[in-house]
Structures are given as C-alpha cells and as structure tokens.
Amino acid sequence: MTNFEDEATQTLFDTNHITKEQLEAVRDYRSLNLFSVHNELKFLLYLSMLMFTSGIGILIYQNIDAIGHTVLLGLLLIITIMCFYFCFKNHEGFKKGEAPFTNPLYDYLVLTSVILSCTFVGYLQFQYQTFGTHYGLATLVPTLISLFCAYYFDNKSVLSIGITGIAAYLGLSVDPKHYFENEMFNNRTLSYIGLAFGLTLLLWALYAGKINLKKHFNLVYLTFSLHLVGIACMVNLCDDYWFPFGLVLGVAAYYFYNLSFQIRSISLFIFTVIYGYIGINIFLVRTLIFIHFDDFFSVFIFTTPFYFILSILGFIKLIKHFNKNTTDDSIQ
C-alpha cells in the first residue's frame, strides 16, 4: 500500500500536478507514520450503545418482580425522553440533503433513543396490552418513530431499523434462523409480499433521488431491495410457476449490476452476482427438467466440475472488471 501511494505521488509530480515542495511535504508527512483512530472510536461508541441498551433489557428482565412494571416503564420512558431531548437540542433540524450532527456522538445517541423507544413500546404492549389484540400496531408505532428520526436526524442506522420494522409489520422475518427453516418456502404468500416490498423500496429510492430527498439513503434502500427481490425470486423459482420469476430475477440482476458500477458499491455488486449466479443455476436446472434432459444426464454430471471451475474464474474476472472500472484513475 505504501509503495502504491509513493508511486501515485511521484506520478502527480511527474505530470506537474504538484510542485517539488508539495512532494517533499507529502513524503515528510507520511514518514511520521500517523494513523487515524476514527473508526476505532466509532466502534467503541457503537459497542457502548449496544451494551447500554442490552443492560437496560437485562435489568428489566431480572428485576420485574422486585421493582414493578410501572416503575420500570417510568424509568425507561424518562431515559428515552432525556436522550431525545439532547438529540433535538443539538440538531439543526430537518433538511432534504445531508444534515449531520456537528458531533458524531449524537448519532449514536439517536440510535440509543430509538432502540429504547422500541423497547418501551414492546414492553408496554407485552405487559399491559395497550394496543389490544392489534399486535401489528406495537410494531408499527416504533417503526414510524424510527423512520421519523432517520429523516429528521439523518441517520442511516435508524433507517435500517425502520425498514426492518416495516418488513416485520408485513410478516417478513429478518431473523436468519427463519431463512434456514425455510419460512418463505413454507409460505409462498410471504415471498410475494417480500418481492412487492423489495420493488417498492426500489421505486421509492428512485423517486427520492429524483426529488433530492436524502439521496445518500438510497444505498440502504437498494441493499434491502436487492436482498428481498433476490430471495423472493429464488424461492419462487422452486415453485411450479417458476418461469416469470426467473425473468424478474434476470432483469433485477441486470439492473443492480449496472447500478453497482454507477454508484461504485462493492457490496451491491457482490450480492447481485451471488443472487444472479444462484438464480441462473436454478433456472437452468428447471429448464433441463422441463425439456426432459434425462438422456444427457451423464454428460451433465461429467461437465459439472468444469462448470464450477469456469464459474470461479468468471467471478474473479468480474471482480477485476469492477475494480478496474470503479477505481479512481484521475492520476493516470
């Protein structure tokens, strides 16, 4: 990495983009071997927030009988209100563009406030059935709070909580355990809901980009959309009516593939390739079964190892192609 930086700096000097004094200044600065602890501090802040909210949950669980539900709810509400008070006090207000806090510490305070509000509403419904048998409202209320805070305080983490809450309200589980238990396979309606919700998130991202409403949120929406559309289509490729979903997955993979280059998102690119590859294989197998490929089954088995080797080589080539087309080549 150091050699690459030195070569890049030398290239800038050779092409007269920087002066000799600037070249020496850059080399002197790098010789100090300074490094940033920004990411480490952010990780510690995130860890402390998780420990704080988890500690409150454990405290409630272990002292319900000793303290009482009303007292615990009151304390939880007071802490939540105090967190929100400092958030609103130190933020400049809603803006259509980026509106970060002057101090990033408050971003984690917003996240803490939202998690505590979700805990409060959930505890209130569990203990006192405030919403009666309308359990969806117990999910919808903290979801609305999360979405409001995400847009008002410009917080992507809270936005993820809000999208997850909408998915839960629609009956879509975000617990990986349910995917391994094939929940979508057992309930096709969930796969249709997941596909519709994924496409809705995609349309909203496109509309928000058009009206310049928090355009930097689009990657969050696109990531959720890709996962929902990809999983839903793969589930339905194993159903009797598989052909239309194969086409939908193909179109979606083509769109997200090109989009990943435009926005230079490696995560979007990787998952698009994975979903597309799995979908192509399922589609290919279903097609072979449909045309009664039994007579050539031995040939299929023989060529399978070569197919996977070529797939690996193709994946490596795609990664190199992505890096080549998304790397900043302004110094070349």
Please give the tally of structural domains in the chain.
Answer: 3
- 149 inside domain: yes
- 180 inside domain: no
The residue among 169, 198, 218 that closes a domain is 169
| Same domain? 314 vs 195 | yes
Average pLDDT over residues 185-213: 88
Tokens 């000799």 belong to residue: 20
pLDDT tens by residue, 131-180: 877 778 888 999 999 999 999 999 999 999 999 999 988 888 655 555 54
- 178 inside domain: no
Residue of 119, 120, 167, 173 whose CA lies nearest to 140: 167
Alpha helical stretches, state H, 183-296: 183-186, 188-210, 218-237, 243-263, 266-290
The residue among 169, 202, 224 that closes a domain is 169
pLDDT tens by residue, 72-100: 788 889 999 999 999 999 998 898 888 88
| Same domain? 207 vs 220 | yes
Retrieve residue 190's tokens. 């969930």
Mean pLDDT check: name the lowest of 31-40, 47-56, 198-207, 277-286.
31-40
Give the model's pLDDT for residue 132: 76
Give the model's pLDDT for residue 10: 77
Give the model's pLDDT for residue 49: 79
Residue of 118, 111, 104 whose CA lies nearest to 76: 118
Retrieve residue 83's tokens. 């967190």
Average pLDDT over residues 113-128: 86
Give the model's pLDDT for residue 330: 39
Quickly count: other Cβ atoms within 10 Å of residue 228's Cβ: 24
| Same domain? 322 vs 242 | yes
| Same domain? 248 vs 330 | yes
Give the model's pLDDT for residue 72: 79
- 176 inside domain: no
Give the model's pLDDT for residue 142: 92
Of the CA atoms within 13 Å of residue 128, those in its CB half-sphere come to 9
Rounded to 5 degrees, what angle do the CA atoms 240, 172, 52 make? 155
Give the model's pLDDT for residue 177: 52
Give the model's pLDDT for residue 248: 93
Give the model's pLDDT for residue 284: 84
| Same domain? 206 vs 157 | no
Kindly tell me if the per-residue pLDDT of 116 is higher than 60. Answer: yes
- 234 inside domain: yes
Give me the numbers of helices (H) and strands (E) for the chain, helices first please.
15, 0
Retrieve residue 289's tokens. 């079964």
Q: For residue 75, which amino acid is it?
A: L
Average pLDDT over residues 21-37: 75
Sign of CA dihedral 252, 254, 258, 261: positive
| Same domain? 124 vs 51 | yes
> CA–CA separation, 318 vs 329, rounded Å?
19
Contact between 272 and 260 under an 8 Å Cβ cutoff? The reply is: yes
Contact between 114 and 122 under an 8 Å Cβ cutoff? The reply is: no
Q: How confident is the model at residue 66 (pLDDT cuts 50, 70, 90)?
A: low
> CA–CA separation, 314 vs 253, rounded Å?
16
- 181 inside domain: no
- 273 inside domain: yes
Task: Kindly state the DSSP code that residue 294 receives in the 8-state scheme.
Answer: G
Give the model's pLDDT for residue 9: 76
| Same domain? 25 vs 45 | no
| Same domain? 113 vs 230 | no
| Same domain? 21 vs 57 | no
| Same domain? 21 vs 44 | no
- 79 inside domain: yes
| Same domain? 104 vs 196 | no
Name the residue range of residue 65's domain: 38-169
> pTM for the complete prediction?
0.81
> CA–CA separation, 323 vs 125, rounded Å?
49
pLDDT tens by residue, 230-266: 999 988 888 778 889 999 999 999 999 999 999 989 9
Q: How confident is the model at residue 228 (pLDDT cuts 50, 70, 90)?
A: very high
Alpha helical stretches, state H, 15-68: 20-31, 38-62, 64-67
| Same domain? 145 vs 196 | no
- Alpha carbon dihedral 154, 159, 161, 167, in 10-degree steps, equals 160
